């Protein structure tokens, strides 16, 4: 049943992706309306306003999460599937989670990330091809050095896929951190919701690992193979915490500092 915590964490990430997809569709509808008005001889001023409403979400983040989703499907379904010992309704939820995540992030990657015109500039070493390659190398190395529970019927490189998935999910936050730290645009409320959902997903994920380790401890086992999953997830959580600090700093800069400045000016009037 502790697998539900893991599913809740995935659900938060999917909710963040769904919010991004809905926001993008609204912008696309506005652009279509602007094109109609433009063809009728009216002003084109609204086009730039719509472009400015694009969420401050890195294109590389979207692509990396999509790749990580495909990897999670591979190792989750590898023999034996991770939900083998769970109740039927949990197994159904796992299948729903995998299918919906694949469809959602594929749609985001195909309709938003590829066509995105803003928040696409990152240094080459933060780009999704480089981070994907580094994740693959580290995943392959980690799968050979960290303890795992091998199964003779497991799919080829299933252990590498596990490590790759965990590492690439962590690295996905790096271009997003760069985007927020280097953008001069104000932080909008929808982006706050996106950040919040990702953070809540991290909380559920770490609760899942904590609960699992506690159960192994009660049984007198160390659950040593679990560290294959936990070590990359701890690193992911640390990166996520740093991302949250950068985000709070930007919110303070964009929202709180102007309010405090105005309040101080009013005190001296």
What is the residue whose two structure tokens read 């009037």? 269
What tens digit of pLDDT does each residue of 47-91 get? Answer: 444 444 667 889 999 999 999 999 999 999 988 888 888 899 999
Query: HEC states along 119-134?
Result: CCCCCHHHCHHHHHHH
Q: What is the pTM of this model?
A: 0.82
Mean of pLDDT values over 199-215:
84
What CA–CA distance (Å, rounded) separates 246 from 3? Answer: 31
pLDDT value of position 197: 87
């Amino acid at each position: 049943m502790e697998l539900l915590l893991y599913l809740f964490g995935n659900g938060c990430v999917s909710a963040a992706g769904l919010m991004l997809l809905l926001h993008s569709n609204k912008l696309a509808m506005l652009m279509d309306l602007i094109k109609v008005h433009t063809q009728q001889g009216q002003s084109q001023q609204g086009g730039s306003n719509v472009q400015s409403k694009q969420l401050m979400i890195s294109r590389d983040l979207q692509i990396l999460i999509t790749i990580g989703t495909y990897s999670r499907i591979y190792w989750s379904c590898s023999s034996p599937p991770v939900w083998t010992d769970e109740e039927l309704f949990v197994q159904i939820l796992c299948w729903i989670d995998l299918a919906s995540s694949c469809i959602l992030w594929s749609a985001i990657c195909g309709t938003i990330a590829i066509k995105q015109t803003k928040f696409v500039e990152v240094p080459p070493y933060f780009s999704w091809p480089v981070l994907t390659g580094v994740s693959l190398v580290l995943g392959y190395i980690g799968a050979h050095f960290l303890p795992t529970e091998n199964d003779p019927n497991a799919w080829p490189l299933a252990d590498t896929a596990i490590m790759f998935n965990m590492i690439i999910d962590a690295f996905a936050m790096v271009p997003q951190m760069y985007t927020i730290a280097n953008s001069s645009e104000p932080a909008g409320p929808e982006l706050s919701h996106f950040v919040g959902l990702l953070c809540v997903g991290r909380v559920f994920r770490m609760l899942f690992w904590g609960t699992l380790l506690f159960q192994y401890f009660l049984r007198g086992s160390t659950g040593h193979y679990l560290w294959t999953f936990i070590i990359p997830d701890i690193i992911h959580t640390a990166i996520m915490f740093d991302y949250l600090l950068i985000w709070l700093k930007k919110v303070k800069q964009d929202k709180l500092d102007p309010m405090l400045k105005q309040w101080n000016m009013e005190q001296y009037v």
